Amino acid sequence: MAKTPQTEPRQSWTFSNDVNSEIRRAAATGIYDIRGGGAKRRVPHFDDLLFLGASMSRYPLEGYREKCDTSVTLGTRFAKKPIELKIPVTIAGMSFGALSGHAKEALGRGATMAGTSTTTGDGGMTEEERGHSEKLVYQYLPSRYGMNPDDLRRADAIEVVVGQGAKPGGGGMLLGQKITERVAGMRDLPVGIDQRSACRHPDWTGPDDLEIKILELREITNWEKPIYIKIGGARPYYDTALAVKAGADVVVLDGMQGGTAATQDVFIENVGQPTLACIRPAVKALQDLGMHREVQLVVSGGIRTGADVAKALALGADAVAIGTAALVALGDNDPKWEAEYQKLGTTTGAYDDWHEGRDPAGITTQDPDLMARLDPIEAGRRLRNYLNVLTLECQTLARACGKSHVHNLEPEDLCALTIEAAAMAGVPLAGTSWIPGQSGF
Amino acid sequence: MAVTLDMAKLDLREVNTALQSAAKTHSNDAYLIENPRGSHAMACGLDGALDVTIKGSTGYYCAGMNKEARVTVDGSAGPGVAENMMSGIVTIAGDASQYAGATGHGGLLNIKGNASSRCGISMKGIDIVVHGNIGHMSAFMAQKGNLVVLGDAGDALGDSLYEARLFVRGKVKSLGADCIEKEMRPEHLKMLAELLERAGADASPEEFRRYGSARKLYHFNIDHADEY
C-alpha cells in the first residue's frame, strides 16, 4: 500500500524554538531574563545605507595622498577647555564593577594611543582608568556611586546621564556576585548585596531643574569642563532640544542597540528606537535651534565599522561612541574561550550573561582568576588597532565622496536599500529620488 | 572680621570664585554674603576650611559638594542644599526644600526648621539633623549615615533603605518598603547624644525611635515583588 505523503513538520514563526525556550525558562524560574548587551533583534541599521561615491558631478580625493581630517572638538559652546580628539570615535561609558579594573585600564590605554577619550560609568572613577586615559569623561549618574568633587575636577568632561539606549527609562542592578570589597567600598554599600542603580536623578526632575544642576557643576569646576548630556533613543527630537535648553555642550544619543551591563531582556528588546532612526530627528532639533555643530552630537549604539562611523557622521553626528565593539576588540566573546562558553550554556558571539561575573574572557567580571586572563597592555593595543581601522575606513569612504574632513560627509552622499531605512535616515531609496515621509509621500 | 560679598554688586561666578579660592588656601577666613536673592549654586564646591554666612535665602544646590567648609544660611534653602556633601558643616536657620543632603557622603547638615520631601535621599554617609518635620519619601534608598528628625516624618520613610540609620522623635506617617523600627541600643543612644549636641538640639536621645533596613530587599527575590 502506498505511503501517504506527509507534510514537512512546520515550525511556528510566532512560537519559534527561541520563544518557546524562553517560555520554558520563565515557567521554571518565575523570573524574567536578565542579560547584558543591546537589542539583538534585526532593526534597520547602517547596513541599509550605501555611499554613492564620487562620479561625474563629484570630485574624489586621492587615497593615501590627499588629507582627510578626522579631528573633532567637543564642548565648544560654554566650556573653557573643550576636548580635542584626533579621531571621531570615543569610548562609551562602562562602569567599574560591571567591568574589571584590567578592562578599564585597557580601554584607557587603547583610547589614549588612538587619540580619543574614554568614559567612566556607574561606580565612580578608578585610578586605572584615570591613570591610563589622557582624556576621561566622568559620568554623573542617578546613583551617584563614588561621586565626589575631586574626581569631578580631575575629569576632562562631565557626562550627565539621563538615559541609555538599551533601557530608556530604566535603572540598573549590579548583582551581588560582582560586589567585591573594592566595588562595594566605592559605592558605599555592603559587600555582596544587589546594588540598584536608580532610574532618576535624586535631586532634579525635568530640564528646568537640570539647567540649574548644570550651573552647579560648572560653578564647581570653574566652567572648564564640557558638559555632555546622554539620552537614550526615546524621543530624539524633543530630548535633544531640551538638552540644548538645559545647557549641554554635547548631546550623546544612544540607540537601542547600545549595550548595558545588565537589564531585563524584555526591556532591551522592546523599549527605545534604533540608532538609525534617532540621528536625523536629533540633528533637526539642533538645526532648528541654530545649534548644529555648536552643540556637538555623539551617536552610539551598534557602531562596528568605519562605514558605520562614516554614515553616522554623514547623517549629522560630530562623533560616535563605541561600547560593545570596544569590548569585542579587547577580547569579549572570543572563539578561544568556546569550551568555557559551552560550559556556561552559551556559545561564542552569544555570551551576554555579563551580570553573572563569570566571563571567560576576564572582562565583565570581578573574579581575580578570570580578571587575570586579560592583559591590559595587550588588550589596549588591540583596541588601539581597532580604533585606527575604524578611522582609516571612515577616511577611505570620505575621500571617495570627495571630503577633506569627515565632517563634510552629508546625507546627500547616501542612499538607502530599504524603504524603512530611507524614511529613518531621510535619504532617497536607492535608484529613486524618493525619501519616504518627505515631499508629500 | 568677615569679608563681605554683596550679590547686589557681584555675580555668582565672582562670589563663588572668591569663596573657592579662599577655601583652597584653608584660610579659615569668614565671609558674609549679602543680598543672595535666592541665587542657585551658591557657595558650592568649597574645598577647605572656611566660614561662610549667607544673609538671606538661597536657591538650588547651596553648598553642593561641600568639603570642610562651614556654611550657614541665615534664611531658608532651596532644593538640593548640601547635595553630595563630603565633610564640613552646613546649617540652615530656616526651612529646607526637597532633596536636602541628597547623596551626601559626610559632614553635618543641620536644618533648624523643616525639610521637605526626599530629605537624605540616597545619602552615603552624611549626618542630617532636622529640628522640625520632614516630608514624604525621606531617606529613600539611603545607604549610610544618620538622619535625625526632632519632629514628625511623612509617608514612606526610609523606602528601600540600605544601611543608613533613621531616628525620629515625633510621629512617622508610614514606613517605606523594607524599613522597620529597630531596637535602640546603647551605642545608638551614645551616637545620637553626640550628634544632637553637635547640632545644638534640645532633645534627649531616649525620646527617639530608631528605624533601619529589614534587609529583605538586598537580594532580588520574586516573592518580594509585591513590595514594589
Task: Check pLDDT > 70 for residue A425.
Answer: yes
Q: Please give the average per-residue pLDDT across A236-253, as a whole number.
A: 98
Pairs of CB atoms within 8 A across A/B: 100
Q: Is the dihedral of CA A172, B146, B63, B150 positive or negative?
A: positive
- On chain B, the residues whose CB falls within 8 A of the CB of A198 are 122, 141
Of A176, A196, A212, which has the smallest distance from its Cβ to B61's Cβ?
A212
Residue B222 pLDDT:
65
Which residues of chain A does B103 touch, with a Cβ-Cβ cutoff of 8 Å? 144, 147, 202-203
Is residue A401's pLDDT more than 90? Answer: yes
Q: Is the four-CA dihedral A412, A414, A416, A420 of positive or negative sign?
A: negative
So what's the ipTM on this one? 0.96
Chain B residues inside the 8 Å CB shell of A196 = 141, 160
Mean pLDDT over residues A387-412, rounded? 98
How long, in residues, is chain A? 441
Q: Which chain B residues touch A144 with a CB distance below 8 Å?
A: 84, 103, 122, 124
Mean pLDDT is lowest, of A144-148, A175-179, A295-299, B141-145, for: A175-179
Confidence of residue A75 (pLDDT cuts 50, 70, 90): very high
Handedness of CA A186, A192, A198, A202 (dihedral sign): negative
Cβ burial, residue A50 (10 Å; 0-12/13-18/19+):
middle
Confidence (pLDDT) at A178: 72
pLDDT band at B160 (very low <50, low <70, confident <90, very high): very high
Per CB-CB distance under 8 Å, the chain A contacts of B222 are 30-31
- Per residue in B35-56, pLDDT (tens digit) is 999 999 999 999 999 999 999 9
Chain B residues whose CB is inside 8 A of the A31 CB are 220, 222
* B162 in contact with A, Cβ within 8 Å: yes
Contact A31 B222 (CB under 8 A): yes
More confident residue, A50 or B1: A50
Look at residue B226 and tell me whether its pLDDT is greater than 80: no
Q: What percent of chain B has pLDDT over 90?
A: 93
Cβ distance B84 to A176 less than 8 Å, yes or no, reads: no
Which three cell numbers, joined as nine digits, stand for A189? 554599600
CB B17 to CB A222 under 8 A?
yes
CA A123 to chain centre: 18
Residue among A193, A194, A202 whose CB faces B103 most closely: A202
The pLDDT tens digits for A126-154 are 998 899 999 999 999 999 999 999 999 99
- Which residue of chain B is at minimal alpha-carbon distance from A188? B124
In this predicted model, what pLDDT tens digit does every residue of A166-214 receive, in sequence order?
A: 999 888 777 777 778 888 888 888 888 887 788 999 999 999 999 999 9
Q: pLDDT-derived band of residue A362, with 50, 70 and 90 as boundaries?
A: very high
SS (H, E, C) chain B: CCEEEECCCCCHHHHHHHHHHHHHCCCCCEEEEECCCCCCCCCCCCECCCEEEEECCECCCCCCCCECCEEEECCCECCCCCCCCCCCEEEECCCECCCCCCCCCCCEEEECCCECCCCCCCCEEEEEEECCCECCCCCCCCCEEEEEECCCECCCECCCCCCCEEEECCCECCECCCEEEECCCHHHHHHHHHHHHHCCCCCCHHHCEEEEECCCCCCCCHHHHHHC
pLDDT > 90? residue A341: yes
All domains in chain A, ordered by first residue = 43-331+374-425 (3.20.20.70)
- In the predicted model, is pLDDT for residue A273 greater than 80? yes
Q: Which residue in A has a C-alpha nearest to residue B42's C-alpha?
A: A216
pLDDT for residue A441: 59
B144 vs A188, A212, A223: nearest CB: A188
Q: Which three cell numbers stand for residue A135?
A: 582624556
The pLDDT of residue A397 is 98
Q: Show residues of chain A in contact with B164, CB under 8 Å.
A: none
> Does the structure show a pLDDT above 70 at A440?
no
Other CB atoms within 10 A of residue B32 CB = 17
Work out the minimum CA distance from A278 to partner chain B, whole angstroms. 33
> In the prediction, which pLDDT does A183 show?
80
| pLDDT band, residue A420 (cuts 50/70/90) | very high
Task: Find chain A residues with C-beta within 8 A of B79's C-beta.
Answer: 203-204, 209
**Would you place residue A45 in the very low, low, confident or very high pLDDT band (cuts 50, 70, 90)?**
very high
According to the model, what pLDDT value does residue B150 have?
98
Identify which of A149, A219, A223 has the shortest CB distance to residue B86: A149
Tell me what the pLDDT averaged over chain B comes to.
Answer: 95
Cell 568639603 found at: B67
For residue range B174-198, what is the model confidence (pLDDT) as tens digits? 999 999 999 999 999 999 999 999 9
Q: Does A318 have pLDDT greater than 90? A: yes
At residue B27, does pLDDT exceed 90? Answer: no
Q: Residue A216's pLDDT is what? A: 98
SS3 A339: helix
Q: What does the pLDDT look like over B109-135, one tens digit per residue?
A: 999 999 999 999 999 999 999 999 999
Pick A171 or A426 by higher pLDDT: A426
Q: What is the pLDDT of residues A23-44, one digit of tens each?
A: 999 999 888 899 999 999 999 9
Task: Say yes or no for a CB contact (<8 Å) between B84 and A149.
Answer: yes
**pTM here?**
0.95
Residues of A in contact with B40 (CB under 8 A): 212, 215-216
Q: Has residue A285 got a pLDDT over 80?
A: yes
CB contact under 8 A, A204 and B143: no
pLDDT at residue A378 is higher than 80: yes
CA distance A149 to chain B (A): 6
The whole-number pLDDT of residue A137 equals 98
Query: Would you call B58 an interface residue with chain A, using a CB distance cutoff of 8 Å?
Result: no
- B41: nearest CB among A189, A190, A216: A216
Chain B stretch 23-42, residues whose beta carbon is closer than 8 A to a beta carbon of chain A: 40-41
The span from the CA of B83 to the CA of B61, in Å, is 6
- Asked whether residue B225 carries a pLDDT value surpassing 70, the answer given is no
Report CB contact under 8 Å: A188, B218: no
